[in-house]
Amino acid sequence: MNVAEPIYTGPTPGSPEQVIPIIAELRRLYPQAACSLDFTNPLELLVATQLSAQCTDERVNIVTKQLFKKYTSAADYATVSQEELEQDIKPTGFYRNKAKNLRATGQRIVDIYDGEVPHTMTDLLTLSGVARKTANVVLGNAFGIVEGFVVDTHVGRLVRRFQWTQQEDPVKVEQELMKIVPQKDWLDLSHLLIFHGRAICDARRPLCEQCTLTHLCPSAFKAQPKAVTKKPRATRAASS
């Protein structure tokens, strides 16, 4: 017997009537939502964010606990050998490319910005390995400057499920979010979406039955993985 697919009857996706209640409910659910990378200054956050590519924040925090004791300035990253830095960040994965970018970033910060992490989008984007996501993380969380919307895998997945966008490219997703989300919510909402993505709205098995946003989500109960019917294995006749 086929089960009818749920029909969404809530507010128009992307409208203030849908967006604002979602933000309010996420704030209620995750009042402590914040950047989950450990840092004490802009340089540490810049490094941690670069290391977080294809790596969990938890693992990054384990690595940076010792890393930040050893490397305390941009000059430290600029002068360390490629091989030594690779070993220090190896658990975060893709360590060769990350080490290369961190060394180049450290050198540029020393040469162009007098050893201080720049605090404009334009300048941050000149650093090796830094795209808009990393720049937005650093600007918003280290400097309190909100120029854009942080779009990671969790954010992208959730906003597509809310039907706020159909885009896959993070830059295009960001552009569309900036049109429908009030600017005062840009930074907080990115944290809230990440927390909800980790706790409830999983990529493979979203826990829609536990979610309090189902009445506002066009994808509720539709993003479940389809059951796979396994074919019985063919058995060979016993040898006579």
Name the 3-class secondary structure at 156.
helix
Pairwise CA distance, residues 152 & 131, whole Å? 12
Beta carbons within 8 Å of 186's beta carbon, 6+ residues apart: 140, 146, 148, 149, 177, 178
Of 90, 152, 188, 222, catalytic? 152
| Among the listed residues 179, 182, 216, the one whose alpha carbon sits nearest the alpha carbon of residue 196 | 216
3-state SS, 216-238, equals HCCCCCCCCCCCCCCCCCCCCCC
Helices (H) and strands (E) in the chain, counts: 11, 0
Is 169 among the residues known to form the active site?
A: no
Q: Of how many residues is the chain composed?
A: 240
**Burial class of residue 204 in the structure, from the number of CB atoms within 10 Å of its CB (0-12 exposed, 13-18 middle, 19+ buried):** exposed
Is 152 among the residues known to form the active site?
A: yes
**Burial class of residue 144 in the structure, from the number of CB atoms within 10 Å of its CB (0-12 exposed, 13-18 middle, 19+ buried):** exposed
Of 88, 98, 133, 185, catalytic? 133
Show the tokens assigned to 171. 């830059």
Q: Which amino acid is at 10?
A: G
Q: Which residues are catalytic?
A: 133, 152
